[in-house]
Amino acid sequence: MKKILLILAIIPSIFLTSCGPGKPLTPEEQAVLDAKIKMYTEMFEQKSFALEANTVYSKKGRSFQVNSTTNFVKLDKGTGVLQLSFYNLVGWNGIGGITLEGNVKNYKVNKGDGTRMPSVSFDMNGPLGWATVRISINSSGFGRAVVDAGSSGGRITFSGPVSPLSQASIYQGHSL
C-alpha cells in the first residue's frame, strides 16, 4: 500500500516539473526566431501566400490525409481561394472536390513579437456566402487555417506548411 501511495505522489510531481517553463533561448536561437517572425509577418502583410494542407480536420476533429497540391488556402492580394479535394471523388472543381474563390475583407495581421509568431484573419465573400478564416503559424513554418462557414455553421481546418505564393506548389481547379 505504501508503494502505491508513493507512486501516486511521485507521478504528479514528474508531470508538474516537466510541464514548467522552458529554458530561455540563446541569443543565436532568438536571432533565428526573430528572423522567422519578420519573414512571416512581411509575407502576411503582402497578402501573397498559400497554406498547402497535408491534413484536413472536420468540424468534429476527424482527420484526413490529403494531397497538398490540391488542398490549400491561398491569398493573392485581394482574392482568397479555399480548395478541398479528395482522391477518387467527383467534384465541382474538376479534381474531386470544391474550389471557393472570393474577395477578402476585414484583413488583419497580428504581428509576432519576441516569442509569438504572427497570425492572420480575414473574411471571404464568395458565390456560396461568406467564411471567416484564421491562420496561425509556428516557428517551423507549419500553419493551421480554421475556416468557419458563415451561414451553414460548418467548420474545416487545413493544416500544413505556409509559403510565399511564388514558392507554393498548388493546382487550382475550377471555381464555383
Residue 10 inside a domain? The answer is no
Residue 139 has pLDDT above 70, yes or no: yes
Residue 97 inside a domain? The answer is yes
Residue 67 has pLDDT above 50, yes or no: yes
Residue 61 inside a domain? The answer is yes
Residue 1 inside a domain? The answer is no
Domain assignment of residue 140, given as a range: 25-164
Across the chain, the runs of DSSP E, i.e. the strands, are 48-52, 55-57, 63-65, 72-76, 79-85, 97-110, 119-126, 129-137, 142-149, 155-164
Residue 174 inside a domain? The answer is no
Q: If you average pLDDT over residues 17-32, what whole number do you get?
A: 77
Q: What is the pTM of this model?
A: 0.83
Residue 12 has pLDDT above 70, yes or no: no
The Cα–Cα gap between 44 and 108 comes to 9
The Cα–Cα gap between 158 and 73 comes to 8
Domains held by the chain: number: 1
Residue with cell 510565399: 164
Q: If you average pLDDT over residues 16-22, what whole number do you get?
A: 54
Residue 20 inside a domain? The answer is no
Across 40-117, the runs of DSSP E, i.e. the strands, are 48-52, 55-57, 63-65, 72-76, 79-85, 97-110
Burial of 117 (0-12, 13-18, 19+ CB in 10 A): buried
Q: What is the CATH number of the domain that holds 147?
A: 2.40.128.410
Residue 172 inside a domain? The answer is no
Residue 120 inside a domain? The answer is yes
